[in-house]
Amino acid sequence: MGLTDSAIEHIKGMIVSGELRPGDRLPREADLADRLGLSRNSLREAVRALSLIRVLDVRHGDGTYVTSLQPEVLLETLGFIVDFHRDDSVLHLLEVRRILEPAATAIAAQKMTDGQLATLGTLAESCTKATDVNQLVATDLEFHQHIALGAGNPVLASLIDSLSAPTLRARVWRGLTEEGAVARTHEQHRAILQALVARDAESARAWATVHIAGVEDWLRRAL
């Protein structure tokens, strides 16, 4: 194990053990390097690496802090990575969405509050009033984000959010080029909403699968 990797493991161990908690400030660089038996350069590289993946927050002139370590913060790195996709790799992202989102929708059918369902209904209505495809897709994204959050699992919601953004272009293309795509989107939103309101987890899962698979099927044919 390299010295930088060793420093990363030491800092990780301090966080996992609870010695360093979310929001805590790390000891001074010189003191921490001496305590861990590492060079300041190795420690500095470790801090830089951990800041890139949002475990640490380097505040110039103030110090280095442990982030909140919330899933949405840590998973921002995943969103950054998937931004470097090729058009054909969007299919892989859609395949993963087709696994995760129906599961989240089924869970949401059991966990969403009446207030959350009312908000979802408003979002579905906003989709029908969208004046162009870009606006429709943006509202569609918000519709799906709200369902994922309604499942009550922040890790699952963050994963879905990270995977959704790179598929936006494909969804816009489909809306512009496939006849009846917009109408089907509205119909499927209504079906998903009705299943959620009815607390019918399996129907919600099925309609979410149909909804995502439609984009995936169109893209396979387009490519």
CA 172 – CA 160 distance, rounded (Å): 18
Q: What are the φ and ψ backbone dihedral angles of 59, each rounded to 5 degrees?
A: -110, 105
| Residue range 159-181: mean pLDDT, rounded | 69
Q: Which domains occur in the chain, in start order? A: 3-69 (1.10.10.10), 74-222 (1.20.120.530)
CA 214 – CA 222 distance, rounded (Å): 12
Q: What angle is formed at CA 157 by the lines to CA 151 and CA 159, rounded to 5 degrees?
A: 145
Q: Helical H runs in the chain?
A: 3-16, 29-36, 40-52, 71-74, 76-82, 90-111, 114-128, 133-150, 154-164, 168-177, 181-197, 201-222
Give residue-wise pLDDT tens across range 76-94: 655 555 454 555 567 777 8
- Whether residue 174 is predicted with pLDDT greater than 70 in this model: the reply is no
pLDDT at 77: 57
DSSP bridge pairs for 205: none
| Residue range 130-155: mean pLDDT, rounded | 86
* Confidence class for position 139, pLDDT limits 50, 70, 90: confident
- Whether residue 165 is predicted with pLDDT greater than 80 in this model: the reply is no
Residue percentage of the chain with pLDDT more than 70: 83
* Confidence class for position 140, pLDDT limits 50, 70, 90: confident
Give the DSSP letter of residue 24.
P
pLDDT at 128: 86
The two structure tokens encoding residue 31: 């003191």
Give residue-wise pLDDT tens across range 149-163: 999 998 898 888 877
Give residue-wise pLDDT tens across range 90-104: 777 788 888 999 999
Counting other chains too, the contacts that 96-101 makes at CB distance below 8 Å and 24 or more residues apart are 96/163, 97/160, 97/163, 97/164, 97/167, 97/212, 98/209, 98/212, 98/213, 98/216, 100/156, 100/159, 100/160, 100/163, 101/144, 101/147, 101/148, 101/160, 101/208, 101/212
- Whether residue 195 is predicted with pLDDT greater than 90 in this model: the reply is yes
Q: pTM of the prediction? A: 0.62
CA 101 – CA 196 distance, rounded (Å): 14
pLDDT at 60: 85
